[in-house]
Amino acid sequence: MNSLIKRQINKFLKPEQLKDIKDFLVAVNDSYNNFDDQLAMSQRAMRISSDELFEANQKLREEAQDLKEINKNLEDVLNSMNLDVSKVATETNFNTSDFVKKQALEIITINKQREQLLKSLEEQNRELNEYAHVVSHDLKAPLRNIYTLVNWVIEDNKDQMGDHCLTSLNSVLYNVEKMDVLIKGILEYSTIDKIESEDRLIDFNVLCDETVRTLFVPNTMTIKIQENLPKVFGNTSRFKQVFQNLIQNAINYSDKDNGIIEVGYEDKNDHHLFYIKDNGIGINPKYFERIFKVFTKLESNNQSSGIGLSIVKKIVHYYKGEIWVESQENMGSTFYFTLPK
């Protein structure tokens, strides 16, 4: 039996109580082990299929495009080549036409190799994302089993259980709910580039108003949205995820009696600059890069999945933008992101 479950049983249940719930405990243990194994596989897949592969694909894509342009203009490039005159004079068999042809073939060969590598990386990235998606779906079954079984035990034996036993079982339910949030985050992360709804011109003021209405905003919080946000061409679902995660993050980490969140915008020459500013607990500068990585949480006392900011980063990069944070501890944080015009 799993060591954690065994310790909890020894701590809160008496030996005579185990007879009636032996089958239940076996079912919980099996579901827990199954869930633990699949979660480990999912986390490995997500860590591999993260920003490193995305950035490598982007870089190779840019290099491949550059090489295609070189091939298109190869004749001009070759005509401007400076050959070694002394070498040409001493080599009686030197043929300019053959030399040019050889250089062209070498460039074309390199270009094809890079394109093949790019396709290979993209295929691996796609397969890893699909694997994470499938594993996340499979994780839901053992979670539902655990949640259902624990609820049955509580409902059928509530009067006979002591406070310690009820507290322990409610703790199981709480952690199952946390894992459900985590799985939902994994599914969202792995399907960002699979959203099939059509792109359109989106009014970001309308989008932000709709997003805020879907969130639970405490009475101590005030959210201010700038009135002249632009209209941007893109996918409603993706952009809504960006604002939802950033605003929810600001709500979660507010420690002020009068919390303020500002959603603003600046018009730049070649891009839109958006920001979400709060007066919450702030972030230590040493965590500025780390918080955008998958499964990163600076605190473990809430139901955050640790995936929200990595989802935001992946969406912003999908639209060829950038994202960063500026913050002071106990003063608040400002998350900036750009979208090309």
Q: For residue range 147-182, what is the model confidence (pLDDT) as tens digits? A: 788 888 888 887 787 778 888 888 877 777 767 766
Task: For the chain, give the mean pLDDT.
Answer: 76
Q: Given this model, what pLDDT does residue 69 score?
A: 66
> Of 108-112, 160-164, 187-191, 324-328, where does the model show the most confidence?
324-328
Q: Given this model, what pLDDT does residue 187 score?
A: 66
What is the DSSP code string of 49-83? SSHHHHHHHHHHHHHHHHHHHHHHTHHHHHHT---
Cα angle vertex 333, ends 258, 241, to 5°? 95
The answer to whether the beta carbons of residues 228 and 288 sit under 8 Å apart is no
Residue 181 or 48, more confident: 181
Measured between alpha carbons, how far is 190 from 132 in angstroms, rounded to an integer? 7
Q: Given this model, what pLDDT does residue 17 score?
A: 64
Q: Given this model, what pLDDT does residue 264 score?
A: 95
Measured between alpha carbons, how far is 247 from 210 in angstroms, rounded to an integer? 12
Q: Which two tokens stand for residue 146?
A: 């655990």
Q: Which two tokens stand for residue 261?
A: 């969140």
Q: Given this model, what pLDDT does residue 89 score?
A: 47
Q: Given this model, what pLDDT does residue 50 score?
A: 53
Which residues neighbour 7 within 8 Å (Cβ) at sequence distance 6 or greater? none
Measured between alpha carbons, how far is 12 from 15 in angstroms, rounded to an integer? 10
Which residues neighbour 41 within 8 Å (Cβ) at sequence distance 6 or greater? 135
Strands 259-267 and 221-225: parallel
Residue 253 or 275, more confident: 275
Residue 252 or 192, more confident: 252
Q: Which of 79, 205, 182 is nearest to 132 (CA)?
A: 182
The answer to whether the beta carbons of residues 329 and 298 sit under 8 Å apart is no
Mean pLDDT of 11-16: 65
> Of 36-40, 95-99, 271-275, where does the model show the most confidence?
271-275
Q: Given this model, what pLDDT does residue 195 score?
A: 58
Look at 39-43, 224-228, 288-292 and tell me which has the smallest mean pLDDT.
39-43
Measured between alpha carbons, how far is 6 from 231 in angstroms, rounded to an integer? 57
Mean pLDDT of 310-339: 93
> Of 30-44, 189-203, 279-293, 326-340, where does the model show the most confidence?
326-340
Q: Given this model, what pLDDT does residue 73 score?
A: 57
Q: Which two tokens stand for residue 226?
A: 């700038």
The answer to whether the beta carbons of residues 310 and 296 sit under 8 Å apart is yes
Sorted by where each starts, the structural domains of the chain and their CATH numbers stand as 1-190 (no CATH), 196-340 (3.30.565.10)
Q: Given this model, what pLDDT does residue 161 score?
A: 79
| pLDDT one-digit tens code per residue, 225-262 | 999 999 999 988 889 989 999 999 999 888 888 999 99
Which residues neighbour 50 within 8 Å (Cβ) at sequence distance 6 or greater? 293, 294, 310
Measured between alpha carbons, how far is 287 from 329 in angstroms, rounded to an integer? 11
Measured between alpha carbons, how far is 293 from 310 in angstroms, rounded to an integer? 5
Confidence of residue 134 (pLDDT cuts 50, 70, 90): low
Mean pLDDT of 57-67: 65
Q: For residue 153, give Cα distances in angstroms to 11, 16, 29.
A: 17, 16, 15
